[in-house]
Amino acid sequence: MTTDGLVLVTGATGRQGGATTRRLLAAGRPVRALVRDATAPAAEALETAGAELVRGDFDDPSSLPAALEGAAALFAVPPLAFGPSGSDAEREFARGRALIDAAAAAGVEHVVFTGVASTPGRPGGSEGKRRIEDHLRDRIRSVTVLRPVRFMSNYLGSTPIGLDGIVHGVHRHIFPPDEPVQIIALEDIAEFAVLAFDHPDRFAGRSLELAGDAPTPAEAVAAISEATGAAVRYEQITHAEAAALDPGIAQVRERWAAGSRWHADIEVLRVIHPGLRTLADWLAESGATLLRKRLLETA
């Protein structure tokens, strides 16, 4: 199996795909980035960095074979799908299936698929992604599945009521303030993806639950406050507020309250990737600078 061939990255202008594209390019690996709009600033930045751009759309399966032509490997991030009642698992699976079938037809040797962290009784995290994983293993011989927990960079953004970001000095989420919550840096997801591409025989057939740290929400905002010099506090949203955002968020809150937790083995992951970032590492590397800018914008 080749370890220096072309990698097609989907979701390349998004967070995981963008981080993985940049890391592959830094390692000298040729990368083709699947984009819907090659003139978008994020796409142009990837092209400037050295990626080959190719237009494609999961909802137009006929656009995928050309994107996969000549690719030895694939980093797959099928986009989420939403309908009137929330997430649309059937459409999400249809998108993933179209990509996998096109990859199989193109003779792609190795696929790294990034999904969602598991909780007890919910391998793969969601119905759509679980079905994509199953189809992937049926069609592609060498598969590595990454299941990351919540991103550290989520502190930079928020929904209208402030979920998963910081608005007016308040970070709001579904989690109890004094219970550990696993988190991961996007850059580390990219590191594990590159490890899998560089050592396909070692990582083929493996599913890795990914996390780099597990502070409580109260500890996390204290670390952010110290790193940025801005006072940040935490509030747990109520069930009613979660339901107003999305019924799926309310369900996750209920499962969490019942004891359903992510379960990445951070110490084992650190053996595989010794540079695995803690929240303090991420803040020192880039997070604090980005958060200061964000906090100024929302003050």
Helices then strands (H, E): number in the chain? 13, 14
DSSP 3-state of 152? helix
Rounded average pLDDT per 10-residue block, the chain, 299 residues: 85 94 96 95 96 94 95 89 67 91 96 92 75 93 95 86 85 96 98 96 95 98 97 95 86 91 96 98 97 81
The fold of the 7-148 domain, in CATH, is Rossmann fold (3.40.50)
Tokens 């989907």: give the residue.
Answer: 10
The residues that bridge with 236 in the sheet, in sequence order, are 173
Q: Say if residues 216 and 177 touch (Cβ distance below 8 Å).
A: yes
Q: How far apart are CA 270 and CA 266, in angstroms?
A: 6
At residue 114's C-alpha, the angle toward residues 111 and 117, to 5°, is 140
Nearest to 51 by CA among 107, 6, 109, 14: 6
Helices (H), the chain: 15-26, 41-49, 64-68, 89-106, 127-139, 186-198, 200-203, 217-228, 239-245, 247-257, 266-272, 279-282, 288-298
Q: How far apart are CA 269 and CA 249, in angstroms?
A: 28
Residue 125's pLDDT is 64
Nearest to 76 by CA among 157, 161, 197: 197
- Cα-only R_g, the chain: 19
Residue 120's pLDDT is 85
Q: Say if residues 197 and 258 touch (Cβ distance below 8 Å).
A: no
Q: If you classify domain 152-185+211-260+278-299 with CATH, what class do you get?
A: alpha beta
**Would you kindly state where each structural domain of the chain is located, as residue ranges?**
7-148, 152-185+211-260+278-299
Residue 2's pLDDT is 62
Pairing relationship of beta strands 7-9 and 73-76 according to DSSP bridges = parallel
